[in-house]
Amino acid sequence: MADRVILWYDRERDYLEVTLERRPGWWRTTDDDAVMVKVDEQGRMIGFSVQGLSRKDRQEVCIPTAERVTPEP
């Protein structure tokens, strides 16, 4: 695991991106239309994003773990 987590928030687009590891990967959809996860070629989560974060005021935002994310076919 990386020694730091990188957060990037675009207030104008209301978009949060979290990078857990800086490596090549693919964005995958989740059960929540506002959440995407970035996985590496083994399917391990290396980041995630949340679109419309401010509209989720006081609501849970669930990020799937790498075990529930399928790698790129």
Q: What is the pLDDT of residues 46-66, one digit of tens each?
A: 999 999 988 877 777 888 775
The predicted model scores a pTM of: 0.80
Computed on alpha carbons and rounded to an integer, the radius of gyration of the chain in Å comes to 12
Residue 23 forms part of a structural domain: yes
Q: How confident is the model at residue 2 (pLDDT cuts 50, 70, 90)?
A: low
Query: CA–CA separation, 66 vs 32, rounded Å?
Result: 16
Residue 20 forms part of a structural domain: yes
Range of the domain at 48: 6-68
Residue entry with tokens 């290396």: 46
pLDDT in tens, 6-32: 999 999 999 999 999 999 999 999 888
Query: CA–CA separation, 26 vs 39, rounded Å?
Result: 5
Residue 21 forms part of a structural domain: yes
Specify the number of domains making up the chain: 1
Residue 1 forms part of a structural domain: no
